[in-house]
Structure 1
Amino acid sequence: MVKIGVQQPPAALKPEQEKEKAAGGDGAPGAVLLPPGTEEQAPAVQSRRSSLSGVCYLTMGLLVLLLGLVFASMYVYRYFFITQISSPQLPRESVFHCGVLYEDSLYSPFKGQLELHEDVKIYIEENYEQINVPVPQFGGSDPADIIHDFQRGLTAYHDITLDKCYVIELNTTIVMPPRNLWELLVNVKKGTYLPQTYIIQEEMIATEHVHDMEQLGSFIYRLCSGKETYRLKRRSARRRISRREAGNCHRIRHFENTFVVETVICKKS
């Protein structure tokens, strides 16, 4: 008995395989042939380009950082070190004990030089000065407290012997501003500068009585509150050449510049 078998046809080709066979022509799969080694060189070129780009970005970043450091250093040097050298930081308040030698041949022709002592408080921010003149070692001058208020443009003298206050407009040609006086006293204390030894004399006359003390400002108000206070009228301010005796006058010698000032306050005749 003979068995007859029927061979099954091959499974249907997938569309992609059919397309590949159709493209192959002679049954070989359709493919693009590349030169040997091309597939290995392409990733190497791409990695080389990416590394070069990274080096460029890193160089630019370092350059920007270096320029930033240079400009920051210039700014700090210009606005910090130079400012500190040209304008040193001044304290809010400075206290000095001053002793000044000066000549007064008319008052003391045989004693030679006299010495003036005073305590000076300088308030930089508030822009005023306070001077305390103790009882002098020689006669002819009264102890006093003096305030120079540069904000109000006023000067107040408290004659401790009379216990009276006198107020007048600030004489900026004689009285140094707080900052300049501070620098002068610092240099005197260091010994790098010695003040002159002559006397400037200013003569004043007491005029009307002051009733409204608050108009004088808080600094002078604290000094003169509760005391008889008078306004002064300046008679003259000159280099002292001769001493003129004047009745009913009191003298206050103080140091507020490169010379000694003798303030002569007289009653109105």
Structure 2
Amino acid sequence: MVKITFQSVSAQKPEKDQDADKITIPQAHGRLVPPMKPRKPFPTGLCCLAISLVIFTLGLVLPSIYIYRYYFMSQQIPEDSLFHCRVIYEDSVYAPLRGRQELEENVSIYLEENYEQISIPVPHFGGSDPADIVHDFQRGLTAYYDIALDKCYITELNTTAVMPPRSLWELLVNVKRGTYLPQTYIVQEEMVVTGRLRNMRQLGPFIHRLCFGKETYRLRRRNQRQRIERRETKKCHRIRHFENTFVVETIICDRF
């Protein structure tokens, strides 16, 4: 008989070094410091693009509003503000044509914009040039475009000779039923050229539209003494127009 015996084997694992398994985390001043994340760059290119688009949009919108208001809306004048005038007046200043004369013109009155535009066709008799005239009461300026000379002349608005738009409109409405205006008289104003104008935009949109692309000169009124002494020394031309209860003859002379 064979006897088999088992012996218990007591094997103890060696104890691990506890200090070797510890993980040491560095501390700053007793606080944990989280790892720093990389900062994303600021999208400067996108901001510049957005600002450029805003400026470009404003550059399109604002001029469009300006053009629509002053160049398109101003042309939409109601029919009751358009007048074709023919006035009989007594000419006592121009010797070849003394006596009863007739002046014909077209008047457009813009009440909201506060200006008047007058178109004078070629007169039936000599002594006056055809012209287009703008009286801008907002800026206090008058522009004469002499069609025969193809030149523009700018001067201060003479409020004693030119009725404001509302008053002139009321005057023409009162006589619109008749073909002729009541017989009236003529007065003179004499101007002298003082120099050429280069910057047209300072004159406002209405005068700028009338004189754009034309030689433009500034005028000043001549006093009575200068009229007597120097009237015949320089070449002058005349524009006769009606914007009051009388006819005005504007005499424009070259610079002395």
Aligned residue in 2 for 1:185 = 172
Aligned length: 174
Q: 1:99-114 alignment to 2 at 5 Å?
A: 99-107=86-94, 112-114=99-101
1:212 match: 199
- Residue of structure 1 in register with 2:114 after alignment: 127
The match for 2:184 among 177, 197, 200 is: 197
* Contact 1:158–1:166 under 8 Å retained in 2: yes
CA distance in 2, matches of 1:223, 1:119: 15
Tell me the TM-score normalised to structure 2 length. Answer: 0.63
Distance 2:142 2:176 in 1: 25
TM-score of the aligned structures, taking structure 1 as reference length: 0.60
Q: State the alpha-carbon separation in 2 of the partners of residues 201 and 250 from structure 1.
A: 12
Q: Quote how far apart the aligned CAs of 1:197 are.
A: 1.7
What secondary structure sits across from 2:107 in the alignment? strand
Q: Provide Cα deviations, 1:135-187, integer angstroms capped at 9, x if missing partner.
A: 00110100000000011110000000100000011110110000000000111
Paired residues of 2:118 and 2:133 also in contact (CA < 8 A)? yes
RMSD: 2.4
User: Contact 2:88 / 2:181 at 8 angstroms: preserved in 1?
Assistant: no
Residues 181-213 of structure 1, C-alpha deviations (whole Å, 9 max, x = no match)? 00001112234x954521110000011111110
Q: Match for residue 48 of structure 2? A: none
Deviation at 1:112, TM superposition (A): 3.0
> What are the equivalent positions in structure 2 for 1:32-51 lying under 5 Å apart?
none
Aligned with residue 132 of structure 2, among 124, 145, 149: 145
One of 215, 218, 231 as aligned partner of 1:228: 215
Ranked by relative contact order (alpha carbons within 8 Å, sequence separation 6 or more), the top structure is 2
- Aligned 8 A contact 1:97 1:118 in 2: yes
Q: Percent identity?
A: 72
1:247 Cα deviation from its structure 2 partner:
3.3
CA distance in 1, matches of 2:183, 2:232: 25
Counterparts of 1:268 and 1:101, CA distance in 2: 33
- Whole-Å Cα distance in 1 between the matches of residues 174 and 223 of structure 2? 30
- For the residue of structure 1 that corresponds to 2:184, the secondary structure is coil
Contact 2:132 2:146 in 1 (8 A): yes
SS at match of 1:180: helix
> Partner of 1:159 in structure 2?
146
Q: What do residues 111-135 of structure 1 show as CA deviations (whole Å, max 9, x unaligned)?
A: 6311000000000101000000000
Give me the whole-angstrom Cα distance separating, in 2, the residues matched to 1:246 and 1:130. 32
Counterpart amino acid of residue 99 in structure 1:
R
> What is residue 169 of structure 1 aligned with on the other side?
156
The answer as to whether partners of 1:117 and 1:133 remain within 8 angstroms in 2 is yes
Instruction: After superposing the two structures, state which structure 1 stretch, 212-221 or 109-118, moved more.
Output: 109-118
Does structure 2 conserve the Cα–Cα contact (< 8 Å) formed by 1:92 and 1:125?
no
Structure 2 residue identity aligned to 1:151: Q
The one-letter amino acid paired with 1:252 is I
Given that 2:105 and 2:121 are in contact with CA atoms closer than 8 Å, whether structure 1 keeps it comes out as yes
Q: 1:121 to 1:236 in 2, by over 3 A?
A: farther
Residue type of the alignment partner of 2:208: Y
Distance 1:97 1:141 in 2: 19
Instruction: Provide structure 2 residue ranges, at least 5 long, that are not aligned to the other structure.
Output: 1-76, 225-230
Residues in 1 aligned to 2:146 and 2:177: alpha-carbon distance in whole angstroms: 31
